Amino acid sequence: MIKRIVTIGPESTGKSTLCELLAKHYQTQWCPEYAREYLLTNGKEYSFEDLEHIAKGQLALEEKHAAFVHESLTISGENTVTAQQKPLLFIDTDMYVMKVWCEYVFNKCHHFILDTIAEKQYDLYLLCNIDLPWVKDELREYPDEGPRQELYRIYKDILINQKTPWVEISGNYETRLQQAIAAIDTFI
């Protein structure tokens, strides 16, 4: 019943900001990227094995937020959901991001991640372009334009070759928000 909308793309492309703005606009929840929490807690050096743990943590966090959206719609007798209402959950990162991360850094991917990609379905992808300036923080790894362009092409190729609707999001933050709202209102 909950419509799940995922933002994906290279680092520092406004995915978290877009999720937060969309959740505010639609008065719902958004699921942050678990990797940030994990790496800030455990250190920014990571192994191939850490990425499987991060992937599982991301899925668990997503389900926690989905349960909260579901509960908030059904817990009160006053809040009955009509057929016209579509509860939304905005998700910063999915297993495609984990796949790209694994393959880009380690040239291999966990079977768990690949199996989850094959099983899990989303309702819409928002591909964030690299036209925002890269912003340094303690976890970001790819400030140079070459890797950013390469990663963007990888994400775009993934979306072209799967069946879920997707939209490219570009421009400044306000333009991105308006593009995303238009896409959500069209597809969802």
Q: Which of 81-95, 120-134, 141-155 has the lowest mean pLDDT?
A: 81-95
CA separation for the pair 30, 12 (Å, rounded) = 18
- The burial class, CB within 10 Å (0-12 / 13-18 / 19+), for 68 is middle
Whether residue 181 is predicted with pLDDT greater than 50 in this model: the reply is yes
For the chain, give the percent of residues with pLDDT over 70.
90
The two three-digit tokens of residue 108, written as one number: 């291999």
pLDDT band for position 146 (50/70/90)? confident
CA separation for the pair 6, 127 (Å, rounded) = 8
pLDDT band for position 77 (50/70/90)? very low
Domain 3-187 has CATH 3.60.15.10: no
Bridge partners of 16, per DSSP, are none
Q: Which of 8-12, 14-18, 91-95, 134-138 has the lowest mean pLDDT?
A: 134-138
Whether residue 138 is predicted with pLDDT greater than 80 in this model: the reply is no
> Residue 91: which region, alpha, beta or left (left: phi > 0; alpha: psi -120 to 50)?
beta
The pLDDT score that the predictor gives to residue 75 is 56
CA separation for the pair 152, 147 (Å, rounded) = 8
User: pLDDT (tens digit, 9 = 90+) per residue, 98-126?
Assistant: 999 999 999 999 999 999 999 999 999 99
The pLDDT score that the predictor gives to residue 137 is 74
Instruction: Decide if 70 contacts 1 (C-beta within 8 A).
Output: yes
Whether residue 71 is predicted with pLDDT greater than 60 in this model: the reply is yes
Instruction: Decide if 87 contacts 28 (C-beta within 8 A).
Output: yes
* pTM over cut 0.85: yes
- Classify the C-alpha dihedral 137-138-139-140 as positive or negative: positive
